[in-house]
Structure 1
Amino acid sequence: MDTGSSCHKLVHFHLPTTRILSKPCLESQESPKVVRNMPSYDSVKVAVRVRPFSKREKDASSKCVISMKTNCTTICDPKNVGNEKTFKFDLAYWSHSEYLKNTESTLVPDGSYSRYADQKTVFQDLGQGILDNAWQGYNATLLAYGQTGSGKSYSMIGYGTNRGIIPLVCEELFRAIENNQEKNKQYQVTFSMLEIYNEQVTDLLSKTKKSGGLKVREDQHQGFYVDGLKLVPCESYAQIERLIEQGKKIRTTASTSMNASSSRSHMVITIQFKQILLKEDITKQSSINLVDLAGSERQKSSASEGDRLREGTCVNLSLTTLGNVISALAEAAMGKKVLHIPYRDSVLTKLLQSALGGNSRTVMIAAISPADICYEETLSTLRYAERAKKIKNKAIINAGPTERLIKELKAENNKLLSRLAGLGNSGKRQLSGCYENELRIQTMQITWEHQLQEARKEWEQQYAAITQERRMMQLYPYLLNINEDPQLSGVLKHFIQEGASDVGQDPSNVITLRGLGILPQHATFINSESKVFVKPHGKGKVIVNGVPIVLNTKLQHLDRIILGSNSAYLYIGFPAERGPDDLCRFDYDFFQSELAAAEGFSVDTLGPVHNKEGKPDPSVLAVFHDFIKLMPLVAEANQMSEELSKDLKFELKVKNLALTDSRGYDLQKEISVKVINQITNQVWIWSKSKFINRKFLMEELYQRYLDGGDISLDRESDPFWDPVEVIHLGSAHIWLQSLAYCMKLEEQTELLNSEGVEEAILVINITPCSDTERPFGEEDIVIDPLELLGRKIEFQIHILQCLGVRWLKEATNRGIQIGYHFYDVCQCVYTKPVWKNVNPIIDHKLQFVALNVSNVLLSYLQKHALVVDLWGLQGTIHFCVLVWIDMQPNISSYYFIWIVDCSHLIVEFSTCI
């Protein structure tokens, strides 16, 4: 029997039908008298913690928009400095500044007057309270909430010597047990660790992964629990410390093989703490639940971005439902009528049912960024926490006779079995209930000493593995994993021993790797004569220091290696090559920035990095960070497309990289994704938000593919499919200054795309003319534009032709249209569509008449350009055609726009045969 496995729930209702106070009143040893424990009604305790600026925020010269005074947190709107919002919570931790690093690399307050709240302070306020509740027999839960990178994991787990709440709680628990040893008292501590991603539960202490994840079940005694979750008995903090490291390794491996970012998953650590009073035959039990929630960043609505598919896939479902549960409970606490609390709508909220409104004393720590560039996300987190603090819980001390629960379970089994006789096939649920109860009875009857003995065997094996790993680190070079989540970087080591070490998905390889784009036989690492080489196999993708390789390549200490789509590793050379290296600088962003630079993209590509004052331009840096963040996602999308035979290629683009407005000012740059069907040559441009939403849906489909499930979809539900659309190809600027002098413009100008590359040549004339449409001659030219004030002016726009349209050269089923705005006309004017001609004749005319020229119009002509946009059509003429002005399709038309007083515009149509 595997004594480390059991049925498990997140927060226990340890159900004897009666409960006792922490100091029981006993009549005799044989028959303890039980006093009912009254519920303790407590609000969820909420703490807010603000972290220091991140590297990205420092690069962007971010300003701090957070201030704290006692337990009040104030946030200032960077776009409206006078707009401040203040929130009052139970605790407010200032961890943004006023700190220093001591000799042990621990962050501590800088002087006696420092406001800095270090890890020890947070533990003393929150962690110690959790332990105090556990000793009394209350269930206790700590939730960490906030956007990705806000400091949740730092508060919960910590980094290096800056240990977080979880390790400090575990260490202090065993220290307290050691100091409270009594002859007639036994203490039992079990540990479990799970991850929820995409509504699937993964046991982070089990080396075998169950397809589809572990199931969440419910019964009348336990409430919701995870069936089959491994519970490991522990007798020291060192064991728990090792289990956490083991869980990290499994989480890292799972995030790579499942293509799942840890920032989008929830991690739950549960410590079951039992105090058994042997003399009185009483058991007091507490479940300590420590929950690191997924990143809560706000995304633009898919609907607002024009995405036809739903937003909020299973990846986001748990957080969305958690928000709905918290809102409903907050309204109920305020006396409003709430018909339904949606606990059952997600896996996370099922397991947190007791923590939110149930049998638990619960604390939420809201982690926030101080930076102005994160204002919206921070404000959202503070509002979320404000709702959470209104929730009322009903905590009770979990204690009762040890043998009573076993008797109750046996009695319940007998009742269930008696019902089965008359139920036939419909009795499957009752049979399942019997099986679950029997498992619980068996587990409870196994002596604690036997469970510890089994756990010790496993611990000895793990300790031997640790010793072996340390020995090999002193002998061989190795690959050290680099993960997007700093908590999961440096967790895995793959040693390159002497000779050839094959790498790939096939279990026969010396180094077995799983992940997107990893082939069965992917590459070979060769350790020979104190040198290490890497050689790709076939189509195996191997990148070294940002550059793809195809030949045998020698590795140097601290080389950066990417295998497949996005499995990143730092090469650690032979012991003699190593020094006091700062490995922290080789983080995930370093790899992606290096890869982008090798492909010709850097922050300088986006234009001046500094503004006129010499300060970093936050908008430029934000676009660069978006680009490198999306790079691995695009690589993964391409790999999934290939493996699922979708024939789509995804490319990152910077929208408006080289484009300007009518005044010549740079347009706002943003990241988009170009999607190309490699069979039909059809093209789409997806916004960042739309791509991220689709990527979630692709992951769900791909996971079904890996699990051997049905991946057939109707076209409307396929995340890889979209109807054809119109594509913006490029723009040309026709400067209008000559018109202010009544001089004719005759231009052949380039239509440039977002990157400044020529898409076509535009032939266009803009001619001042008289009422009779007579073109002005030299005698009509004015020396001073002010001479036109108050006068009537007319001119005609004539788009003659486009030459060498690259869009039309690339495919035969394509067309183009041209669109432009003039002055402050709100509607864009479009030409007729033209198909299949590389040098299409446009012959579009539009005449403008201003009855009374004003200073505003003169200023427009002198300082603005006419921006002409080239649009690409695809498919057949029935699809993707922009609406153009044409009253009589069989007659060539041109249009008069009358500018009456430079504020009222009248459009009049005329025709000429």
Structure 2
Amino acid sequence: MLDDVIKTGCAQLKNAQLDEKKSPNQLNKKVPYLANLNEDPMLSYVILHYFNTDEITIGSRNSTICLYGLNILERHATIRSIDSYRYELIAAEPGSKIKVNGYNLNGSTQLRHKDRILFGANHVYVYLNPSNEKDASPDLPSIITWEFAQKEIAKAKGYSLGNNLTIEQEEIQEKILSLLPLLSEVNAISEELNKYRTFEIVLMPISAWEGTAIKGSRVMIKMRNLLNQNIWYWDDAKFINRSFIIKEHYQQFLDGEEEILYIAKDDDPFWEPVEDILLGTANAFLQSLAYSLDFADEICIVDYKGLEQGRLSINLCPCSPSGKVVNDEQFVEQPEQLFNKPYSFKITMRFIEINDERHNKGLRIRYKVFNELEFTETNIICRNTVCANVKQTRIITIPSVDEDWLRFFQDGCIIFQIFAVQEESKPNTGLFKMTTRVMNKEKDNNKTYSSFI
């Protein structure tokens, strides 16, 4: 794979140098051109493709500009002159992967000075038109960099963290920018090898993933099986390790070793055994317990995006060590009145209801209280239904309330994690009539193929 990248880069540089030799005076003519952008600033603006004709073709074969690699079609794009100063970019095929200023190109667009263009999975260019520099947006930097283009793609995908970032947010942004090109490459290989897998970056709240009240987010990769909609979450280290194996397999495929398409699933880097998926969390705040008051409510179950996935009915109430509910006369006006006294309370999960019937294979709920090391967990519930009675009760007894417990009552919460059971179900055979590329295209077009599932 690395050899191919080096060969491809050398071939593009040679072609660009040949273009320059054909028109030695073109800089004086202020001819528009494409300049490459690279993660290494020293390698940016090295490959220059000047517009010497009214129509420039871009593709992997018999083109004015030849590009090679993942998601580059034989006829990929056309750049056509509108008049002496303006050009338009046209997708040559419906399946051409092109992004302009971070967004997918559908059809055609007029190019403006300093437009950023991504061809295929990893060919990033900036369009420069010295004769029409005033056409550029005034908000753009004086020099367009690879990092600027990647941030733009990240923003278009919904990964923008804004300005004035904290140190943690800067680290997250840096990690996202480093993963995006690799993610694009792995998705392209999945399409080439027809693996029916798609990958995307998600920002997972640490509190949701760990089940404890910890601030911050974690960058994770969500892998989806397009055939049965099963989902897995990988950390970035696991994804990077898998990507190395995926690229090795793809190189073997390019070398003519087609048996790589039929390896055992245990040897396939795209395969993963099914596991229960984190559907969302329900956070129960405990201020009422600080005043020895009962609390009962239906709490929303929200996923990592903050979208509601269902609701969980719970009850928190002060009680005796044996579980007998205390009456309202035990109410305290100030939480400090509980200090250095024994205290017991009862946690009851009454029922759960989820919104998406695709998760009716079963649910399980788990939670930890305060500084517990082990989770309290339910058995599998909600089989073949979207709602069920939980009826699980647990008594927590505190020998002596200290400042940490008071702080937990006043500011903390119990995070109920809801996991959905996934199964290795066989998809409808009609889905196999569609390729990974077609499925991804229909998903991008907001179409659905659920009728095949």
Q: Same fold (TM over 0.5)?
A: yes
1:603 to 151, 155, 161: 161
In the TM superposition, residue 772 of structure 1 has moved relative to its aligned partner by 5.5
How much identity, in percent, do the aligned residues show?
A: 28
2:62 to 508, 526, 533: 508
1:818 to 346, 365, 369: 365
In the TM superposition, residue 763 of structure 1 has moved relative to its aligned partner by 0.8
Aligned to 2:38: 483
Where 2:363 maps in the other structure, the secondary structure is strand
Q: Which amino acid aligns with 2:127?
A: Y
Where 1:625 maps in the other structure, the secondary structure is helix
Where 1:585 maps in the other structure, the secondary structure is coil
Where 1:603 maps in the other structure, the secondary structure is coil
Aligned to 1:897: none
Q: Does 1:568 align with 2:124?
A: yes
2:181 to 616, 627, 632: 632
Q: Which amino acid aligns with 2:223?
A: V
Q: Does 1:527 align with 2:77?
A: no
1:832 to 355, 359, 379: 379
2:51 to 476, 489, 496: 496
Aligned to 1:687: 235
Q: Structure 1 residues 851 and 596, CA, compared in 2 at 3 Å: closer, same or farther?
A: closer
Aligned to 2:191: 642
- The answer to whether the Cα contact below 8 Å between 2:285 and 2:413 also exists between their aligned partners in 1 is yes
Aligned to 1:147: none
In the TM superposition, residue 253 of structure 1 has moved relative to its aligned partner by 6.4
- The answer to whether the Cα contact below 8 Å between 1:663 and 1:864 also exists between their aligned partners in 2 is no
In the TM superposition, residue 630 of structure 1 has moved relative to its aligned partner by 1.1
1:860 to 408, 411, 427: 408
Aligned to 1:167: none
Find the aligned partners of 1:499 and 1:600 in 2 and give their Cα distance: 36
Aligned to 1:722: 272
Q: Structure 1 residues 860 and 508, CA, compared in 2 at 3 Å: closer, same or farther?
A: closer
In the TM superposition, residue 477 of structure 1 has moved relative to its aligned partner by 2.0
Q: Which amino acid aligns with 1:543?
A: K
Aligned residues: 415
Structure 2: unaligned runs, 5 residues or longer = 426-453
1:799 to 349, 362, 365: 349
- Scaled by the length of structure 2, the TM-score of the pair is 0.82
- The answer to whether the Cα contact below 8 Å between 2:13 and 2:46 also exists between their aligned partners in 1 is no
Alignment of 1:307-456 (within 5 A): none
In the TM superposition, residue 674 of structure 1 has moved relative to its aligned partner by 0.3
In the TM superposition, residue 471 of structure 1 has moved relative to its aligned partner by 3.0
Q: Deviations over 1:185-221 (max 9, x none)?
A: xxxxxxxxxxxx75x599x7xxxx6xxxxxxxxxxxx
Aligned to 1:768: 318
Q: Does 1:623 align with 2:172?
A: yes
Find the aligned partners of 2:295 and 2:414 in 1 and give their Cα distance: 12
- Scaled by the length of structure 1, the TM-score of the pair is 0.42
Q: Does 1:758 align with 2:314?
A: no
Q: Deviations over 1:557-584 (max 9, x none)?
A: 21111111221111122x42259x9997
- The answer to whether the Cα contact below 8 Å between 1:730 and 1:759 also exists between their aligned partners in 2 is yes
Q: Which amino acid aligns with 1:592?
A: Q
Aligned to 1:675: 223
Q: Deviations over 1:236-275 (max 9, x none)?
A: xxxxxxxxxxxx9507669xxxxxxxxxxxxxxxxxxxxx
- The answer to whether the Cα contact below 8 Å between 2:365 and 2:378 also exists between their aligned partners in 1 is yes
- The answer to whether the Cα contact below 8 Å between 1:820 and 1:869 also exists between their aligned partners in 2 is yes
Q: Deviations over 1:547-604 (max 9, x none)?
A: 212122111121111111221111122x42259x999731111111111222333123
Find the aligned partners of 2:146 and 2:329 in 1 and give their Cα distance: 68
In the TM superposition, residue 468 of structure 1 has moved relative to its aligned partner by 2.1
Q: Structure 1 residues 805 and 717, CA, compared in 2 at 3 Å: closer, same or farther?
A: same
Find the aligned partners of 1:850 and 1:578 in 2 and give their Cα distance: 71
Find the aligned partners of 1:783 and 1:672 in 2 and give their Cα distance: 45
Find the aligned partners of 2:200 and 2:242 in 1 and give their Cα distance: 14
Q: Which amino acid aligns with 1:795?
A: F
- The answer to whether the Cα contact below 8 Å between 1:662 and 1:864 also exists between their aligned partners in 2 is no
Where 1:250 maps in the other structure, the secondary structure is helix
- The answer to whether the Cα contact below 8 Å between 1:660 and 1:667 also exists between their aligned partners in 2 is no
In the TM superposition, residue 623 of structure 1 has moved relative to its aligned partner by 0.3
Where 2:150 maps in the other structure, the secondary structure is helix
Where 2:298 maps in the other structure, the secondary structure is strand
Q: Deviations over 1:272-303 (max 9, x none)?
A: xxxxxxxxxxxxxxxxxxxxxxxxxxxxxxxx
Where 1:576 maps in the other structure, the secondary structure is helix
Where 2:249 maps in the other structure, the secondary structure is helix
Find the aligned partners of 2:181 and 2:152 in 1 and give their Cα distance: 12
- The answer to whether the Cα contact below 8 Å between 2:197 and 2:270 also exists between their aligned partners in 1 is yes
In the TM superposition, residue 640 of structure 1 has moved relative to its aligned partner by 0.6
1:592 to 138, 147, 150: 150
Find the aligned partners of 1:706 and 1:464 in 2 and give their Cα distance: 28
Q: Structure 1 residues 699 and 201, CA, compared in 2 at 3 Å: closer, same or farther?
A: closer
In the TM superposition, residue 544 of structure 1 has moved relative to its aligned partner by 1.2
Q: Structure 1 residues 805 and 862, CA, compared in 2 at 3 Å: closer, same or farther?
A: same
- The answer to whether the Cα contact below 8 Å between 2:70 and 2:189 also exists between their aligned partners in 1 is yes
Where 2:421 maps in the other structure, the secondary structure is strand
In the TM superposition, residue 473 of structure 1 has moved relative to its aligned partner by 4.3
Structure 1: unaligned runs, 5 residues or longer = 1-196, 210-247, 255-460, 611-615, 878-913
In the TM superposition, residue 798 of structure 1 has moved relative to its aligned partner by 0.7
In the TM superposition, residue 494 of structure 1 has moved relative to its aligned partner by 2.4
Q: Structure 1 residues 658 and 864, CA, compared in 2 at 3 Å: closer, same or farther?
A: closer
Q: Structure 1 residues 555 and 657, CA, compared in 2 at 3 Å: closer, same or farther?
A: farther
Find the aligned partners of 1:465 and 1:599 in 2 and give their Cα distance: 35
In the TM superposition, residue 744 of structure 1 has moved relative to its aligned partner by 0.7
Where 2:25 maps in the other structure, the secondary structure is helix
Aligned to 1:740: 290
Aligned to 2:72: 518
In the TM superposition, residue 463 of structure 1 has moved relative to its aligned partner by 9.1
Q: Does 1:655 align with 2:221?
A: no
Q: Deviations over 1:779-816 (max 9, x none)?
A: 2323334444454433221111222344xx3355x422
Q: Does 1:542 align with 2:302?
A: no
Q: Deviations over 1:489-534 (max 9, x none)?
A: 22222233433332211x2233222121111111211113222111
Find the aligned partners of 1:540 and 1:201 in 2 and give their Cα distance: 21
- The answer to whether the Cα contact below 8 Å between 2:283 and 2:413 also exists between their aligned partners in 1 is yes
- The answer to whether the Cα contact below 8 Å between 1:662 and 1:733 also exists between their aligned partners in 2 is no
Q: Does 1:706 align with 2:254?
A: yes
Alignment of 1:86-235 (within 5 A): none
Q: Which amino acid aligns with 1:735?
A: F
Find the aligned partners of 1:498 and 1:588 in 2 and give their Cα distance: 27
Where 1:874 maps in the other structure, the secondary structure is coil
- The answer to whether the Cα contact below 8 Å between 1:498 and 1:528 also exists between their aligned partners in 2 is no
